[in-house]
Structure 1
Amino acid sequence: MIPIRPLSRESAMRYGAYYASRLLPHPSLRKGVIAAIRTCVTLMHGAAAAVEGGEAQSALKELRQSGVTPISSPLDPAQIDEVLQFLKTAPVAQGGSSNVPVTANSQGVSSAVYDMPTILACPHLLAVMNDPAVLQIAAGFLGCKPTISGAGLRWSFARDGRPDSEVQKFHRDMEDWKILRLFVYLTDVTADSGPHQFVAKSHKTAGRFRIKPYTDEHIAQRFGRDNVLTIDGPRGTAFLGDMWGVHRGLPPTQRPRLLFSCTYTMTSTPIYRYEPVHVADSHLYDRYTNRLLIRQG
């Protein structure tokens, strides 16, 4: 989780860039701006490495066609166990009570979110964010060297099946011009534990000016129910999504879900307040790609 930058005189230009993106909700209108940003990044920081390997090329093809693609898991079961062990003593930033650690057995909690220093201190997650295969796909998707502009780690607990946040309703992510997000399930996810849903091919369609969730009826009429893809799977299941596409995380009804996500964009996201932190072995990670989250040296 990265905090939102307060709106002020100093941040007005950043918010102007954010609202400029909102004012161009049609993909054909956004392409010109995206191409300009991509060109500037390439001129200033060098071209991205060429996409090599069958899996990366297949993933990019699927992203362009449907907007979402499965990938090989960047975490094995033993590494996931280490993540869960770490979180047993890690305080949460939002949710829970009085920074008490949250586990799958916690009671009276609807959701729990971890802050960025906790995410970066958690075993393996920074390495996942910098997984070479994922970065290669991100570079191919963005058309330039990727920037890691966000990461999230969130528990969602079973309630009555009604959404308790906007991310549990159909929506598009509009905080940047072009967004690729990695999702990794850290618990087994089935129909009763809040699977992610993505509306296939919706990334090719126009959005709207207002940030307003889409109703199930609207999705069915505009895209057809058959195009709503539900992604479940055992812990370690990983996939990438074009966040201009319509998506949501269903609220769990029986069992909790722990989800890790990482966001790749062409530049920093205007509305976020970045506070890079020092991490061990920071020299192992690309300085440019990680500049917003980790402090080098």
Structure 2
Amino acid sequence: MTVYTDLTGRALTVIRRSLPKHQWDQFAEKIVRDRHDIEGHLREEPPLGHFNDLLADLRGRSHVQIPITLTNVEELRRYFDDQPVHKGANALSFDGRAKSLAAARRDFPLAAYSAESVIRAPGLIDVMNDPRLLHLIESYLGCVPTLYSVNAWWSFVAPKPEMTNVQFFHRDTDDWRFLTLFIYLTDVAADGGPHEVVPESHSLDGMNKLIKGIRFWRPKMDTERSFVDDMGEEFSRTCELHFKNAAAQLVGPAGSMHVVNTLALHRGIVPTRTDRLVVWARYGLGPNTNSADLERGPLGIRFVPTKLQGTPRDRYVNRLLMEFDRKVP
């Protein structure tokens, strides 16, 4: 049954990716309306200190900074310093040869950790499940979110971008509707490899508004095509020419967090002075072909340093990352 379920999921992904990305939200709305009644037992009232005042900016500008800061950055840095890494920015780029961080820094421009290393990191899963954060994401998505992907990777000081979409302007393609949480574990200034996003570029209306505001550039970008042909060095160069004044660089000290709709045009800028370590967590409507469980099955809860209690909501949000009832062998 698992094989057939996986094939069905991949088939739905192929169908979704055959549609222009600016149309995806129409289908997302149908999905979340269907979920409204069946997930009632999973929803919760807004927690104290909720972040709902950020919702309008997140919807309109594609990104917001979360007004909390990690308190155990040094502990996490020590933990990740001891974990093996691999070439590239995510599991899909893994070449099968894990290396020490020191060796990777010498040999690669980008190096990433396994999903398991991220899930086992002290306190990270609890940060990703902060009730205030989850409520903001739930309000944006329209349904209880699924935490489907986690990652941590280094961008090292380099003279030019790596030949990968990570450091060129692009759009992510994970789900019908999704959000990405970025957590900086190093201080990130303009020369430290900040995440860069073009505000409002996640929607066709936003793109049309951006293009309308460009007075002198010719030829102007075709906004609808930008949701189809949205990868590669040439596309990124066109984005730079059009949006260099509109793009926002998300800077901040170690421990700062940003939530971004990465359907918007975005990239990681190449660090020119200090290396950057960043964690991401992605939340969407359900499993997809970028789910962490495809790299490795969910971990038993005894391997995860977390304070989660295993409520129905905890189990649902984290079902692709952890199994709360796995027995000790």
TM-score interval, normalised by the smaller of the two chains: 0.7 to 0.9
Q: Residue 215 of structure 2 corresponds to which residue in structure 1?
A: none
Cα deviation, residue 11, structure 1:
4.1
CA distance in 2, matches of 1:219, 1:14: 35
Alignment of 1:6-155 (within 5 A): 11-27=6-22, 29-46=23-40, 48-51=43-46, 56-76=51-71, 79-94=72-87, 99-102=98-101, 106-155=105-154
- Pair 1:229 & 2:248 matched: yes
Which consecutive residues of structure 1, in runs of 5 or more, have no partner in the other structure? 1-7
Deviations 1:144-176 (A, max 9, x none): 101001011001111112234211110111121
CA distance in 1, matches of 2:290, 2:276: 27
CA distance in 1, matches of 2:13, 2:104: 39
Give the aligned residue type for 1:114: Y
Cα deviation, residue 102, structure 1:
1.4
Residues 120 and 279 of structure 1 are in contact (CA less than 8 Å); yes or no, is this contact kept in structure 2?
Answer: no
Q: Residue 4 of structure 1 corresponds to which residue in structure 2?
A: none
**Aligned partner (choices 249, 269, 282) of residue 263 of structure 1:** 282
CA distance in 1, matches of 2:301, 2:47: 30
Cα deviation, residue 112, structure 1:
1.4
Distance 1:128 1:52, change over 3 A: closer
Give the aligned residue type for 1:194: G
CA distance in 2, matches of 1:220, 1:108: 32
Q: Residue 217 of structure 1 corresponds to which residue in structure 2?
A: 238
Cα deviation, residue 127, structure 1:
0.9
CA distance in 2, matches of 1:250, 1:94: 18
- Indicate the structure (1 or 2) with the bigger Cα radius of gyration: 2
TM-score (norm 2): 0.78
Give the aligned residue type for 1:18: T
**When you count helix as a share of all residues, which structure comes out higher?**
2
CA distance in 1, matches of 2:52, 2:187: 28
CA distance in 2, matches of 1:121, 1:52: 26
**Aligned partner (choices 319, 324, 329) of residue 291 of structure 1:** 319
Cα deviation, residue 89, structure 1:
1.8
CA distance in 2, matches of 1:271, 1:12: 14
- Pair 1:277 & 2:317 matched: no
Cα deviation, residue 50, structure 1:
4.9
Q: Residue 265 of structure 2 corresponds to which residue in structure 1?
A: 246
Q: Residue 178 of structure 2 corresponds to which residue in structure 1?
A: 179
Distance 1:149 1:283, change over 3 A: same
Query: Percent of counterpart pairs with the same letter?
Result: 27
SS of alignment partner, residue 315 of structure 2: coil
Cα deviation, residue 229, structure 1:
0.5
Cα deviation, residue 12, structure 1:
3.6
Give the aligned residue type for 1:80: V
Equivalenced residues, count? 285
Structure 1, 200-209 or 249-258: larger mean CA deviation: 200-209
TM-score (norm 1): 0.86
Give the aligned residue type for 2:267: R
CA distance in 1, matches of 2:75, 2:239: 42
SS of alignment partner, residue 31 of structure 1: helix
Cα deviation, residue 56, structure 1:
1.5
Cα deviation, residue 186, structure 1:
0.3
CA distance in 2, matches of 1:100, 1:238: 28
SS of alignment partner, residue 190 of structure 1: coil
Residues 50 and 136 of structure 2 are in contact (CA less than 8 Å); yes or no, is this contact kept in structure 1?
Answer: no
C-alpha RMSD of the superposition: 2.6
Distance 1:105 1:94, change over 3 A: closer
Residues 197 and 247 of structure 1 are in contact (CA less than 8 Å); yes or no, is this contact kept in structure 2?
Answer: yes
CA distance in 1, matches of 2:178, 2:97: 33
